[in-house]
Structures are given as C-alpha cells and as structure tokens.
Amino acid sequence: MNLATAISDGALAACAFAGAITLERTRRSARAGQHQALMSATVGLGLIGLAAAIGCLRYGVAPGLIELHILFSGLAGHFAMPLIGAAYVAIAWSLGPSRNAWLALFIALGLLPTISVIVGLYDIYTLLVGSVGVAGILAAAAQRRRAQPSAAVVAAAGALLVLIAGLVIGTEGDIGPIARIDAFHYTLAVAALLKASGLRSFADAS
C-alpha cells in the first residue's frame, strides 16, 4: 500500500470526474452545434478520472489492479488530451463538426497507437498526441483572449499545467518531501478543473 499516492490519485479522480460532470451539465443547455464537442471533452476527462480511480485502488487496497491501471492510463493518454483540445478548437471557432467527424476522430485515436507501435514510433506518438491536445487548448485560448480574457487565462493555465506535469515534474523520484508521482497527480487534478472551467465558459459565451 502507498497511501500518499492512493490519496493523490483519488484527488485526480475526483477533480477529473467533477470536470466531466460540469461539462455534461453544460452540454445539456448548450446549443446543438456544441453537443458533440462537449461530449467528447467529457469523455476525455472521464477517462482521466477512471484511470485515476483505478490507480487509487491499486495504490490503496487492491495492488492486483496494476494491469488494469496501466490499461486505462494508456487509454486516457491516447484519448483525453486530443479530445479536449479538439473540443476547445471546435467551440472557440464555432466549427460544429458533424457526429461522423467526431466518430472519425475517435476511430483514429483508437488506431494510431497500434500503428505507431508497428512502425516503431510509439514513444514519439504518445508525446505528439498529448502535445497536439495542449496546442489546441492554447490556440483556442488565444482565439478568445480578447472576447473572454479570464476564461482564456484559465484554459491556458490548464494546458500549461499538463505540460509542466509531463515535462517538468514526471513520475520518478522525489521533489523534496513529496514523491514526483504525487505532485504529478495533484498538478493534473488542478489542470482538469481549469480545463473544464475554461471550456464551460467558452461554450456559455458562444
């Protein structure tokens, strides 16, 4: 049992699920053209929350869940940020992609990891796919910076925290008295709330 990491993963799960619930409630009152984007972002945050919830159990009372945790962490890594980034872009520019377009994105995100393994570029792909999601959020924030400066700052902060978690904090070793993996989880937890809040504000104003 690793109680500290169970708690940090639990915090990430709670924040990600809270963000997903926020976006689902926003979707119910949003205009029709935003429904698919908000649903996709909700799925992205939900996957983060599910992976973290399994991680909470793994590090707490059920260490046998390690393989399941790895599986869902991989799914969250492959789907979450691209879906959230795409949702930001769709709403910031009022694109309203069709249901088929979103379905094509889901299928592509499901197939590309396998293809990247086959061609020996999996590590590059995992870095690239997360970066594309971050770039989408930052681009949307730049697009809305004048019309919604506060929401743009919130969205950009959420995206930048994802970068800091992955590129600066990491999951191995310690930062003073705090394990890096716990700092990683707490940083992503705050990022999840910020990403949900920014997207909700963009949708409400569109």
CATH number at residue 64: 1.20.1070
User: Could you give the CA distance from residue 137 to residue 39 in angstroms, rounded to a whole number?
Assistant: 16
Count of domains in the chain?
1
pLDDT of 8 reads 98
User: Could you give the CA distance from residue 164 to residue 158 in angstroms, rounded to a whole number?
Assistant: 10
Q: What pTM value is reported for the model? A: 0.95
Q: pLDDT (tens digit, 9 = 90+) per residue, 167-184?
A: 999 999 999 999 999 999
User: Could you give the CA distance from residue 121 to residue 114 in angstroms, rounded to a whole number?
Assistant: 10
Which residue range is the domain that position 100 belongs to?
A: 3-205
User: Could you give the CA distance from residue 113 to residue 15 in angstroms, rounded to a whole number?
Assistant: 27
pLDDT of 52 reads 98
User: Could you give the CA distance from residue 5 to residue 143 in angstroms, rounded to a whole number?
Assistant: 37
As given in the structure block, the two tokens for residue 76 are 């969250």
Q: Give the burial string for 141-165 (b: 16+ CB within 10 Å, else e).
A: bebbeeebeebbebbbbbbbbbeeb
pLDDT of 1 reads 85
Q: pLDDT (tens digit, 9 = 90+) per residue, 37-95?
A: 999 999 999 999 999 999 999 999 999 999 999 999 999 999 999 999 999 999 999 99
User: Could you give the CA distance from residue 43 to residue 37 in angstroms, rounded to a whole number?
Assistant: 10
The separation between CA 45 and the C-alpha centre of its own chain, rounded to angstroms, equals 5
pLDDT of 33 reads 84
Alpha-helical segments (H) within 31-121: 35-59, 66-92, 99-118
